[in-house]
Amino acid sequence: MADNTTTDSNLSTPEEKSSLKLPVKSMDGKPTGEEVELDPRLFGLPRNDHVLYLAVKTELTNRRQGTHATLTRAMVSGGGRKPWNQKGRGAARAGTSSSPIWRSGGITFGPQPQIHQMKLPAKVKKLARKIALSIKANSGVIDLVEDFDLAEPKTKEIASMLSSFDIAGKSILLMVGGHKPMVVMSCRNIPRLEVKEAMNASAYDILRARRIIISRTALDSLTGGLTGEK
């Protein structure tokens, strides 16, 4: 497999752009009056398509199960005895009915189970996530929402929040801070909505979403985790 690592010069943090400010909204889509300045080290990096390509390719490759398989001539049932005598029939000689040239015989050079795996340096993976967040921030598709939790699964409340943000029906990534099982259960019946803990969202998750909602705690978690500050 080709070496997908890049040199240190290619991974050096590019010059950051000016910071962005986003208002924090409540679940009903109304501004709370608080405005947050996004860290330019996380949301102000220039685009780097090669780093994004490596991150997305690695994740999609590692998702492959590699369970595809066909039967070889050794796996086909039957074929234990010679179909007919070697001579006397005037036909081509045959040693087994499991031969690949026979109907229902084995498959020659067919796919077999294998492991699909790629490794990406943690430095590249982290940089890809920051670049993906920067692209979404510059595109104006990120919304900040105040921290919320649910005492019990309530799909209606999540659906109402998406409607108030005017993003219902779009591909949405909801990034929350910490483990929130009730929020996850409330979202699982809403199509095209994916819930991720902030630090578990990959560059691929971020790029494929048309809109991103980040809770206030999730933003702090991202800033601390991806910039090395706790």
Residue-wise pLDDT tens digits, 113-130: 999 999 999 999 999 999
Average pLDDT estimate for 177-203: 93
Share of the chain above pLDDT 90, in %: 67
* Residue 188 pLDDT: 92
Least Cα distance to 142 among 43, 54, 67, 47 occurs for 43
The verdict on 131 and 75 lying in the same domain is no
3-state SS class at 101 = coil
Q: Give pTM, 2 decimals.
A: 0.79
C-beta separation of 143 from 214 below 8 A? yes
Query: Considering 76, 100, 115, which residue would you say is the last residue of a domain?
Result: 115
Query: Considering 115, 136, 152, which residue would you say is the last residue of a domain?
Result: 115
Residue 17 lies in a domain: no
Q: What is the pLDDT of residues 85-95, one digit of tens each?
A: 999 988 998 99
Structure tokens at 31: 């501004």
Q: List, in order, residues 6 or more apart from 169 with CB less than 8 Å away.
A: 192
**Structural domain span for residue 75:** 65-115
Residue 7 lies in a domain: no
Average pLDDT estimate for 92-107: 91
Share of the chain above pLDDT 70, in %: 91
Structure tokens at 215: 């809770």
Least Cα distance to 23 among 162, 177, 216, 179 occurs for 216
